[in-house]
Amino acid sequence: MEFGSVPEDEAFRGEVRGWLDAHVGGGVDRRGWERTLGADGWIGLGWAESGYGNRTATLTQQVVWAEEYARSAAPPRSGHIGENLLAPTLLAHGTPEQKARFLPPVAAGEELWCQGYSEPGAGSDLAGVRTAAVREADGYRVSGQKIWTSLAHEADWCFVLARTEAGSRRHHGLSFLLVPMDQPGRIEVRPIRQLTGTGDFNEVFFDGAYAEHVVGGEGNGWRVAMSLLGFERGVSTLAQQIGFAEELGRVVRDAVASGAAADPVVRARLVRQWAELRVMRWNALRTLGNQAAEPGAPSVAKLLWAGWHQRLGELAVQVRGAAASVGPADWSAAAPYELDAAQHLFLFSRADTIYGGSDQVQRTIIAERVLGLPREPKGVES
């Protein structure tokens, strides 16, 4: 029996599958795909009775949508940061004017967002941000640098955690600003080439960029930022696991094809990956919609899936043996840098235990907030 198999949810699943079957495929660009999703009401399912979303779906139905989307091999989302991170944050902390201005374009797939949190000297240590914003009569002027900014090269807007109180330290004096990206000469985006040859991560440089909107009030950025991080690991975790299951299936098939599955050690590792994935699913279902009561739940989930996915990447190349070192096309100065699925999985997953909060940071959160151990020294508080 599938999750959410009551009659109304099964009817919803059928509607989702039918729509995806009719629309997935073809050469639509990623921004065009967001507009297609918005036009047919599939963005903002979790915005409940806000009046700014599209279809209204229960939590179970949101999981159904996310799982079917992952199974359908639909295009990667460019609008997920606006839909799943910015929108819940505005619903919780934004003014009526901010909700009315920013939520409808997200629901329509018309405006894309990126997240301006990490900096070269403050990656996992978010409270160490140095990007500064100076108050003016009608807004702020933002100067500084952000790094590892996903999809900044496509985004129309960026929500930026910046220091609005000169001389403040750590989590004091921070504000959550909404910055338009189309500011030539004021904002520069530089793609970061990764091990996989792709460049979805970016460096973003702000040189007096203008920001009119502050969410949650000046100086309350830390509270808003922490609230947003709580939204980051919700329904999407279950959809992520559907993708993981498909990757595991490919690794199993490669192990059989290469003969590696005859090795009892390899078989044991494959079974362990399968069992751990099931455990992650049941843990995600157990905590779904109840993470406020379990402050360590997002950190536990991040530790579980990041390590699991990294081990899967290692196993993906191990089962192929020497063939794993040969690319799908000849590499030369004139040819593009190409990887097959297993190679991409292995190289990209090296970052899983770092981005989104490193393993060390997640363990510190669990130690301090769940186990009540002494807090780690982080410098002088102001």
Phi first, then psi, for residue 204 (nearest 5°) are -130, 125
Query: What amino acid occupies position 271?
Result: V
Q: Which of the following is catalytic: 232, 314, 368, 381?
A: 232
Q: Nearest Cα to 24, choosing from 73, 78, 80? A: 73
> What is d(CA 182, CA 189) in angstroms, rounded to the nearest whole number?
11
The answer to whether 34 is a known catalytic residue is no
Buried b (16+ CB within 10 A) or exposed e, 102-112: bbbbbbbbebb
Q: Would you please indicate which residues are annotated as catalytic (active-site) residues?
A: 232
